[in-house]
């Protein structure tokens, strides 16, 4: 299924409700240049933290890296001055931004930090909002029972306070999990419940979201006419709203639908539109899925070179998506961001605060001078532990290096298998021209040194297709050709 993080738009607006309410009049400017100007002229107080969070919110859906940068600045300042609302708002934006770019583990970690704050404050609304967020992350990771469990908790709360938007949001998220579990009829029940609420509220974004998801379910059920109508209806609303995120999702979904109908040329046109938007948005998981769909469409068209090209792009992103390398690249991009004078001042304040804490520790240590001899004994023991720890760290490093090399070798072998599989004739081609044939291909390991090949050539006197079939053993360089 291709039901993306579009559902995050709605839970994101709910999460930022408290942020919108607390921003003062100075920080309400809706022009990015005005916000930046206000931020540069403000002091390191709660107003500046609100402005930084508002700038981060402005970049959501446009440039997630910039959104992360500004949220981190707001978080650092809010923690330094003890501004709780600023801390919650910046953590929320960070969690959503990391979620959008595919760093689910980091997003989940931030969600639990927010949940801890809400639990200490006994903020029931905040707790249930985070339950919904945690359910969404479980959904992305394929943990559907846990996703339904947490989302149902949030749903019960929204029903208790008659929050229509919250109820519709939870219905959609539960339906997504059922859909991915292939419980399509059950998912449609929840989608229709959500759609009825959004239509009653005349919420165009919600209507576009649900119609797109319904179209996805119809596609999986092979009800292609219904699927096309639902997806086109969703795209029409997204065009009206200039919602590029939803436009990309619908282009991708329609492309997948056309591929399933064996309309590869039309499918590729829609998929390339989706790819262009996803690249502009900087979204990772969605870009990988579009690459995969384009690869399948070119394979269906018979253009194996282009198919393999896009398959390689998809494989590269997929292999990196859930690794620590992803977080490392984000950190590198953050480091490239220019630090202005306000940030330098903030860092100086943090250094002063750290120095004061160090002085306090020094006073405590000074009061224990009388136990000098005891410290000497303890020091000898600590030194021994340090040496032991260094040895353990060296062994651990060697272990990690060996594991990394083994993983790289295995990845290369798996990728070689995918390339090899791309040249094998399809089962339909074999059955169409060699009706009573079958293939038994059992490589000993992940990839074998053998392959088979088949093609057609009109070379006989009756001008009929001649079947060319070859089996090759690359290890011993022996070829067996028969037709």
464 pLDDT exceeds 50? Answer: yes
Q: Write out pLDDT tens, residues 373-414.
A: 776 676 767 777 787 777 777 777 887 888 787 777 777 777
> Alpha helix locations (H) across 101-243?
104-121, 124-140, 144-160, 164-180, 184-201, 204-220, 224-241
The H or E element containing residue 90 is helix 84-100
End-to-end CA distance of the chain: 41
97 pLDDT exceeds 90? Answer: no
Query: Which candidate, 109, 47, 46, places its Cα nearest to that of 78?
Result: 46
302 pLDDT exceeds 50? Answer: yes
Computed over every residue of the chain, the mean pLDDT equals: 79
Q: How far apart are CA 48 and CA 252, in angstroms?
A: 40
Higher pLDDT: 98 or 370? It is 98
Q: Write out pLDDT tens, residues 280-300.
A: 888 887 899 999 999 999 999
Q: How far apart are CA 55 and CA 340, in angstroms?
A: 15
Q: Where are the domains of the chain?
A: 5-334, 423-482
102 pLDDT exceeds 90? Answer: no
Residue with tokens 């002063």: 352
> Quick one: 437 exposed, middle or buried, by C-beta within 10 A (0-12, 13-18, 19+)?
exposed
CATH fourth-level superfamily of 5-334: Tetratricopeptide repeat domain (1.25.40.10)
Quote the pLDDT of residue 30.
54
Quote the pLDDT of residue 109.
86
Residue 458 banded pLDDT, cuts 50, 70, 90: low
The H or E element containing residue 451 is strand 450-457
Torsion of CA 124, 125, 129, 132, to 10 degrees: 60
Q: How far apart are CA 171 and CA 5, in angstroms?
A: 15
Q: Are 451 and 417 in contact (CB under 8 A)?
A: no
Q: Write out pLDDT tens, residues 20-70.
A: 334 433 344 457 888 888 888 788 888 888 989 889 888 887 788 888 999
Give the distance from CA 195 to its chain's centroid: 25
Q: Write out pLDDT tens, residues 221-275.
A: 999 999 999 999 999 999 999 999 899 999 999 999 999 999 999 999 999 999 9
Quote the pLDDT of residue 1.
38
Residue with tokens 């998981």: 285
């Amino acid at each position: 299924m291709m039901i993306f993080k579009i559902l995050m738009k709605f839970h994101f607006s709910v999460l930022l409700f408290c942020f919108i309410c607390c921003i003062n009049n100075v920080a309400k400017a809706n022009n990015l240049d005005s916000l930046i100007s206000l931020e540069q002229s403000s002091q390191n107080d709660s107003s500046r933290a609100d402005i930084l969070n508002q700038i981060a919110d402005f970049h959501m859906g446009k440039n997630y890296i910039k959104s992360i940068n500004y949220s981190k600045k707001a978080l650092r300042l809010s923690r330094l001055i003890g501004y709780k609302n600023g801390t919650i708002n910046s953590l929320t934006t960070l969690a959503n931004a990391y979620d959008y770019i595919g760093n689910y583990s980091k997003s989940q970690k931030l969600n639990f930090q927010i949940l801890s704050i809400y639990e200490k404050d006994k903020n029931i609304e905040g707790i249930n909002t985070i339950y919904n967020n945690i359910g969404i992350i479980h959904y992305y990771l394929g943990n559907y029972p846990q996703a339904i469990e947490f989302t149902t908790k949030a749903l019960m709360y929204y029903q208790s306070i008659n929050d229509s938007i919250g109820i519709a949001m939870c219905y959609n998220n539960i339906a997504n999990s059922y859909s991915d579990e292939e419980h399509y009829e059950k998912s449609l029940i929840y989608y229709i419940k959500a759609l009825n609420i959004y239509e009653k509220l005349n919420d165009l974004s919600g209507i576009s979201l649900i119609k797109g998801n319904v179209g996805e379910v119809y596609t999986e059920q092979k009800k292609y006419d219904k699927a096309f109508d639902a997806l086109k209806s969703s795209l029409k609303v997204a065009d009206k709203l200039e919602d590029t995120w939803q436009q990309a999702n619908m282009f991708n979904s329609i492309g997948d639908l056309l591929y399933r109908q064996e309309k590869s040329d039309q499918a590729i046109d829609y998929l390339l539109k989706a790819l262009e938007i996803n690249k502009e948005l900087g979204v990772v998981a969605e870009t990988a899925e579009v690459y995969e769909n384009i690869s399948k469409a070119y394979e269906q068209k018979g253009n194996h070179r282009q198919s393999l090209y896009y398959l390689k792009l998809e494989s590269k992103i997929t292999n990196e998506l859930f690794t620590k390398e992803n977080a490392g690249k984000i950190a590198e991009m953050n480091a490239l961001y220019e630090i202005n004078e306000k940030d330098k001042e903030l860092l100086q304040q943090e250094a002063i605060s750290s120095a004061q804490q160090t002085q306090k520790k020094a006073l405590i240590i000074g009061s224990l001078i009388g136990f000098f001899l005891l410290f000497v004994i303890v020091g000898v023991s600590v030194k021994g532990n340090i040496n032991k720890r260094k040895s353990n760290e060296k062994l651990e490093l060697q272990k990690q290096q060996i594991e990394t090399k083994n993983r790289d070798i295995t990845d290369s072998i798996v990728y070689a298998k995918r390339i090899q599989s791309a040249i094998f004739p399809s089962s339909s081609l074999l059955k169409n021209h060699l009706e009573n044939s079958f293939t038994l291909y059992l490589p000993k390991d992940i990839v074998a040194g053998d392959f088979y090949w088949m093609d057609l050539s009109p070379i006989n006197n009756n001008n009929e297709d001649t079947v060319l079939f070859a089996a090759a053993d690359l290890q011993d360089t022996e070829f067996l050709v028969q037709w």
